[in-house]
Each structure stands twice: as structure tokens, then as C-alpha cells.
Amino acid sequence: MALMEPVDLCGIELAHPVINASGTFDAIAARRAFGDALAEQFPFAAFVSKTVTLAPREGNPPPRLWELAAGMINSIGLPNKGLERYLSEDLPELTGLLPVPLVVNVMGFSIDEVAQLVSAFAEREEVAALELNVSCPNVETGLMMGAEPGEVSALLERVRPLTAKPLIVKLTPNATDVAAVARAAEDAGASAISLINTIRGMALDPRSGEPWLGGVTGGISGPAVRAAALAQVYSVSRAVKIPIVGMGGIQSGQNALDLLRSGATVVAVGTESFRDPAAGALVARELAGLAANSDVSFLT
Amino acid sequence: MSERTVAPFGRRAARVLDRRRCGSYVVLRCADPEGPRPQGGQFYMLTAAERWGGGAGERPFLPRAFSVLRARTGPGGTELEFLLEDVGPGTKRLCELGPGDELLLLGPLGAGFEPPAAGRRPLLVGGGVGIAPLAIWQDELGAATPALLGFRDAARAKGAALLHAAVVATDDGSIGHHGLVTELLEAELDSSPAAVVYTCGPPPMLEAVRALCAERSTEAQLALESGMACGFGACFGCVVPTRTGLVRLCIEGPVIDASRLETAIVAGAGH
Ligand SMILES: Cc1cc2nc3c(=O)[nH]c(=O)nc-3n(C[C@H](O)[C@H](O)[C@H](O)COP(=O)(O)OP(=O)(O)OC[C@H]3O[C@@H](n4cnc5c(N)ncnc54)[C@H](O)[C@@H]3O)c2cc1C
Ligand SMILES: Cc1cc2nc3c(=O)[nH]c(=O)nc-3n(C[C@H](O)[C@H](O)[C@H](O)COP(=O)(O)O)c2cc1C
Ligand code: FES
């Protein structure tokens, strides 16, 4: 454990460089399943919440999952209680149970909505940072917020002054030029970039030939996207100077090391936690072992 | 509501002690020395330690959910039994395991059955591989608890031997009552209405049981199934419709009180 060196992510000190990917670990539900063991063996150096939206969302109709040879497609549809109940119910509960810093992931369907969400957390000292999920359309322009540099600039220019907290912009891989979007985010004041979100995909019901997922299309995650994640982290790291949270298909210390060597400062484990809730801790341990035996310094 | 038994954090290795055929099904017995004793209706996420994911580009990738069939605690710790039906790549791989092979398991997970209120007579109603959680529940309630079990054919009906004194129905009439288990249930409820029905089985059977119990205001607890990726509330993939909206079956269930349901049919579940 002595091998795990603390990492600084925009001023937040993390015990090691492995956190969770948004929407792939629910600390409150995990507390019900694992009791006190969850906090005692908490697998991540920070906890990132599932996306919170202004209004409550029921999410997409089931079925929501499709398994692939090396991963899965999900069409979960961002179900959540909405801002108000997140603040009154989840935030106090999380504060009581988390042994690590909390990052709240938020998404709005317009710049105004994102601004309201950012303002709501701006003064909350329980929240270490905000992650902006921009993988959704701006209902005012009809453009994907995270797919166009101009959209991301406009968004950041509006919300950056609203809080002193770090703003991590989570990019969608479904964009023509992800590095250009990352640069626009940096120029407009983003504190860090996280990527990749899921890659759009689809599956047909083998019997009916109709789309399997209730949301018709969904997002691919897991080992299937690892090589795409590596390429995108690599290209974004050459375009920006702010730290990068790299994710996509991490299952091992070696996978994490690859993303760190391509330019990430911190990595996030997503789908692998479904196979083993302790995956984050295993990845961190393997990574520490690799770091001890490696002549490449990657913990910047 | 009784407190659920919580799972140790993280998946752990469990050695297969025994594999036996039971008609069309396979019963796997494995050692879980450090694990707690599960409650009836709780489940585990299972993975074969070898050749699971990453192998030859094939599924399975995710773990699979299985109700615990039976649990024993002895000097060597907990022993668990699972009842498997080979319906696809994950169950096929698990059915191949034999003594000495290793499983990775996570559990016990979810909320199991609730004991009957005083003066209520428990009644078990199962279909196919869905009899699994009823066996451990009968162990807890007492061997005299009546069980009505429906199967497609004689090979599957061999599974009835896993419960005590089960009354059997088969779709093809090869053994027991020729017809549906709900016909047996109807007769049973006519003769003794003050029952609590505990049920698990294929979605159409569950829905028929639910509708029948609702019609007669008979209390019922249904162990449902839906596609699961994680089993501990992380993915939001396993939702089922209830009167109050979609809920995660792995955390709110798999046993759900019938009064919460308008239907027992879950999109994408069943084979
Ligand atoms: C709480 C709970 C308890 C359970 N208990 C038991 C038990 O005691 N015994 C038992 O035998 N089973 C049990 N099951 C069911 C068991 O989990 C499934 O049979 C198993 O997951 C099937 O996996 P498979 O790989 O064998 O087949 P799959 O092919 O994964 O599953 C069969 C069905 O899944 C769908 N499907 C097909 N392809 C895909 C794909 N690529 N991605 C997603 N879905 C697909 C189709 O509907 C197909 O018919 C339980 C399930 C739950 C949720
Ligand atoms: C079931 C599921 C739900 C997700 N929900 C969210 C979410 O609410 N917000 C978000 O920003 N990303 C969400 N993601 C994307 C992940 O955070 C991550 O970017 C992606 O899965 C790639 O990492 P992985 O391959 O390790 O899973 C979700 C992914 C999955 C598989
Ligand atoms: S299976 Fe993942 S939330 Fe229920």
C-alpha cells in the first residue's frame, strides 16, 4: 500500500489514481448490499456520482442491457431523483458514508439548466468538484453540447464564473474532433477533461429482428472500447495542458498504466465494477505494483 | 421487514464440491467458507473462474444471477447449492463445472422472502428452474410447507425431488396433473384461502399467479427475474415496472410483494 502515491487532481488530493466512472457505482445502493464493509474497503480514491439532472428522470424503458463478447451496451437513460431530492436525500447520506472526496456529475438540456445545477453545488463544501456530462443535445440549438467546440465554449463561459470548484468536462467520443472540443473547454476555463463516455451502439433481438434496447440505441462500454479510449486520451493529452481523467475498458493495472502513459493523470473504472465491485481496488493495487517495477514515471 | 443479509465486499473464489444432474437441470454445490448464510430468495452473481469473458471472443462477459437453492452452515463454513438450467453461454459454462473447479461469486444479494404473518399458511408455487428459491425457503419454513410445482415435461419435473412432498403439474401430462400449476393453485386457494403465496417461475406463470392472487386478495410474494449486469444496484439495468415506477430488481427485489405490481411481466426476461 505504501506504493500508492497520492495524486493531485486540480487541487483535490487522491490517495491513488483510480476513481469510478459516473453511473457505474452507486455508493448508497452498495451500502445496502455490502453494509459497513463498503466504507471500510472503499475501492476508489474519489467517488463520482451518477449524472444528476434538474428534473427527476425515470430513465429508458427496459430492456436496458445487452451483453457483448467484450463489454456491453446500455440504454439506461440517466434515471435520477432530480436536483432537489439529490440535495435533500442523497448528498447527506453520501457525506455520512464516503471515506473519499465526492465529485458530482451533472447534465442539463440547456446552458441555463447546467448553470442552475452548477450554482446549486457551488457552495456545498461536501462536494470536491463537479463533472459536466455534455453528452446530450442542447434543446435550444439542437446541437450535441459536447460535440461542437462552440457549444462547449458557450457553456463554460456561462458556468465557469458560478463556482470556484474544479469543473471536469466529460467529453463524448461521438464527436468529429474530440481534441478540438477539449481545447475549447480548456480555453473557456475547464479544470480537467474526462473521457471517454460510451460509444453509440445498437443490438437487434435475435428473434424479432427489432431493436433490443428500450432506448433503441445505447452506449458501448467495457474492454470493447479500450483501444478507442486510448487513442482519444492520447490525442486530447496532446491538445490540452489541464489534467485528464482517462477511462474506457479498464480491467487491470496494465490497462490503467496504458491510459496514464498516454496522458491521463487519473483513471476511472466503469463496467469492470459490474463484474467485481472491488475492481477499482484491484486495479489500484496492480498499478502500484507496476509503478514500483517500472522505470517510467507516470504519476505527475 | 426483516434485515437483509449483506454480502462481503468484492467477489470471492468458491470451490465446486459436487455437480449432479437432476433431470434437465444441474445442481452445483460449492464451498463458501467465509460467506454468511443467505436468506431464502436472495441470490448470487456467479462467474466461472476460467474461460469466462475474454476467451475466444465469445460471451459470457458479465456475471450471471442465480437464486440460492439451498445453504448449509457447518464446521467448514457455508456451503451453497445452485440449480442451473442451460439456456445460453453463461449457464452452459457453469453447467460444465465439476468438483475442484473454481467459481467467483458475489453475494448474498437482494431482498429475500418475508415470513408469513401469524395465522397465515405459507404456500409455495414454482415453475421450472424457478423452484430454486422455494427449496431454501421450504427449509426455513418447515418441510411440511405445501409446494405446487409446474414443469414443461417429465425430465424437468425431476426437479420436484428438490422440495419435500411437492405436488406436480406438467404441460404435457407426462407426470402429475396434466395442465398448469395455476390450476392446482386455484383448487388449493378454494379449500384454504388464508394463505401467503411464495412464487418463482417463468414470467407468464408468475403473471398468472399474481392475477389469481389479486383476484382473491391473497397475499403473494414474487421472486422476479430481469437481465442484470451487476447485482448490487450499480448499473440501473435490471429495472422492473411497479405501481410506483421502475425499480432496480437487484436491490428492491428480487422478491417483490405482489401488491406493488401491476404485472409480473418484465421486458427482456425469460428465454
Ligand atoms: C435474481 C435472479 C435469480 C435467478 N436464479 C436462477 C436460478 O436459480 N437458476 C437458473 O438457471 N437461472 C436463474 N436466473 C436466470 C439466469 O440468470 C439466466 O438464465 C442467465 O443469466 C442466462 O445466461 P446465459 O448466458 O446462459 O444465457 P443468455 O443468452 O444471456 O440469456 C438468455 C436470454 O437472454 C437474452 N439475450 C440473448 N442474447 C443476449 C445478449 N447478447 N445480451 C443480453 N441478453 C441476451 C435473450 O432473451 C435470451 O433468450 C436468475 C435470474 C435472476 C435475475
Ligand atoms: C450502465 C452505465 C451507466 C452509465 N451512466 C453514466 C452517467 O450517468 N453519466 C456519465 O457521465 N457516464 C455514464 N456512463 C459512462 C461511464 O462513466 C464511462 O464513461 C464509460 O462506461 C466507459 O468506461 P468503462 O468502459 O470502464 O465502462 C455509464 C456507463 C455505463 C456502462
Ligand atoms: S443489476 Fe445492476 S442495478 Fe441491478
pLDDT of residue B74: 87
Largest CA distance in chain B: 56
Within a 13 Å sphere around the CA of B76, how many CA atoms are in the beta-carbon half? 10
pLDDT of residue A300: 45
Tens of pLDDT, residues A21-37: 999 999 999 999 999 99
> Is A10 a residue of the active site?
no
Contact flag A35-B235 (C-beta cutoff 8 Å): no
Task: List chain A residues with CB under 8 Å of B243.
Answer: none
pLDDT band of A149, cuts 50, 70, 90:
very high
Assess whether pLDDT exceeds 80 at residue B53.
no
Mean pLDDT of chain B: 95
> Quick one: residue B175, left, alpha or beta (phi over 0 = left, psi -120 to 50 = alpha)?
beta
Assess whether pLDDT exceeds 70 at residue A298.
no
- B12-109 has which fold? Elongation Factor Tu (Ef-tu); domain 3 (2.40.30)
CB B105 within 8 A of CB B86: no
Average pLDDT (B23-46) is 97
Share of chain B above pLDDT 90, in %: 90
Contact flag A62-B7 (C-beta cutoff 8 Å): no
Task: List chain B residues with CB under 8 Å of A70.
Answer: 53-54, 57, 61
pLDDT of residue B13: 97
pLDDT band of B54, cuts 50, 70, 90:
low
Assess whether pLDDT exceeds 80 at residue B262.
yes
> Beta strands A47-48 and B219-223: pairing type?
unpaired
Contact flag B62-A72 (C-beta cutoff 8 Å): yes
Q: What is the CATH number of domain B121-260?
A: 3.40.50.80
> Beta strands A102-106 and A127-133: pairing type?
parallel
E strand segments, chain A: 7-9, 12-14, 18-20, 47-48, 65-68, 71-74, 102-106, 127-133, 167-170, 192-195, 199-202, 217-221, 244-247, 266-269
Share of chain A above pLDDT 70, in %: 96
Mutate: best of A26, A42, A75, A252, partner B, most B CBs <10 A: A26
Tens of pLDDT, residues B174-190: 999 999 999 999 999 99
Q: Is A226 helix (H, G, I), strand (E, B) or coil?
A: helix
pLDDT of residue B193: 81
Tens of pLDDT, residues A233-280: 999 999 999 999 999 999 999 999 999 999 999 999 999 999 999 999
Tens of pLDDT, residues A173-219: 999 899 999 999 999 999 999 999 999 999 999 999 999 999 999 99
Residues 6+ apart with CB under 8 A from A56: A80, A81, A82, A85
Selecting among A3, A65, A122, A136, the annotated active-site residue is A136
Mutate: best of A20, A22, A32, A85, partner B, most B CBs <10 A: A32
Task: Cell 469473458: give the residue.
Answer: B53
Average pLDDT (B35-39) is 97
Pick from B121, B186, B133, B200: nearest CA to B163: B133
Mean pLDDT of chain A: 94
Q: What is the DSSP string of B71-110?
A: EEEETTEEEEEEEE---SHHHHHHHH--TT-EEEEEEEES
Share of chain A above pLDDT 90, in %: 90
Sign of torsion over alpha carbons A278, A293, A196, A115: positive
CB B14 within 8 A of CB B71: no
Within a 13 Å sphere around the CA of B228, how many CA atoms are in the beta-carbon half? 28
Q: State the cell numbers at A76.
A: 439506461
Task: List chain A residues with CB under 8 Å of B267.
Answer: 61-63, 214
**Of residues B5 and B74, which shows the higher confidence score?**
B5
Question: For B111, which DSSP code?
Answer: B
CB contact burial B203-240 (16+ within 10 A = b; e otherwise): bebbbbbbebbeeeebbbbbbbbbbbbbbbbbbbbbbb
Q: Which residues line ligand 2 (CB under 6 A)?
A: A 21-24, 50-51, 74, 76, 78, 105, 133, 170, 196-198, 221-222, 225, 247-250, 269-271; B 235
The alpha carbon of B92 and the centre of ligand 1 are apart by a number of angstroms equal to 11
Atom of ligand 2 nearest to the CA of A250: 26
Taking the complete model, does pTM exceed 0.95, yes or no? yes
pLDDT band of B7, cuts 50, 70, 90:
very high
Count CB-CB contacts under 10 A for residue B171. Answer: 16
Size of interface A-B (CB pairs under 8 A): 138
Residue type, A215: G
Angle between helices A226-237 and A253-261 (to 10 degrees): 30
The alpha carbon of B119 and the centre of ligand 1 are apart by a number of angstroms equal to 37
Atom of ligand 1 nearest to the CA of B223: 1
Sign of torsion over alpha carbons B105, B110, B116, B117: positive
Residues 6+ apart with CB under 8 A from B84: B25, B26, B27, B28, B66, B91, B94, B95, B129
Residues 6+ apart with CB under 8 A from B198: B113, B122, B123, B124, B125, B134, B137, B220, B221, B223
CATH fold match for the domains B12-109 and B121-260: no
Angle between helices A253-261 and A279-292 (to 10 degrees): 60
Contact flag A273-B230 (C-beta cutoff 8 Å): yes
Assess whether pLDDT exceeds 60 at residue A116.
yes
Does residue A99 belong to the interface with chain B, where contact is any CB pair within 8 Å?
Answer: no
Q: What is the CATH number of domain A7-60+78-199+221-299?
A: 3.20.20.70
Does residue A73 belong to the interface with chain B, where contact is any CB pair within 8 Å?
Answer: no
CB A57 within 8 A of CB A20: no
Residue A139 to residues A48, A142, A214, Cα–Cα distance (Å): 26, 5, 22
Sign of torsion over alpha carbons A278, A279, A281, A285: positive
Tell me the domain boundaries of chain B.
12-109, 121-260
Tens of pLDDT, residues B189-216: 999 888 999 999 999 999 999 999 999 9
Residue A37: exposure state from Cβ atoms within 10 A (0-12, 13-18, ≥19): middle
Tens of pLDDT, residues A59-75: 999 999 999 999 999 99
Does residue A244 belong to the interface with chain B, where contact is any CB pair within 8 Å?
Answer: no
Share of chain B above pLDDT 70, in %: 97
Assess whether pLDDT exceeds 60 at residue A3.
no
Which residue's CA is minimally distant from atom 30 of ligand 1? Answer: B88
Tens of pLDDT, residues A117-126: 999 999 999 9
CB B60 within 8 A of CB B94: no
The alpha carbon of B247 and the centre of ligand 3 are apart by a number of angstroms equal to 10
- Report the run of H or E that residue B115 belongs to, with start and end: none
Question: For B260, which DSSP code?
Answer: G
pLDDT of residue B177: 96
Contact flag A74-B237 (C-beta cutoff 8 Å): yes
Substitution site in A196, A197, A199, A258 for ligand 2 pocket (most atoms within 8 Å of beta carbon): A197
pLDDT of residue A139: 76
pLDDT band of A1, cuts 50, 70, 90:
very low
Identify which of A24, A72, A214 has the shortest CB distance to residue B234. Answer: A24
Identify which of B10, B239, B246 has the shortest CB distance to residue A277. Answer: B10
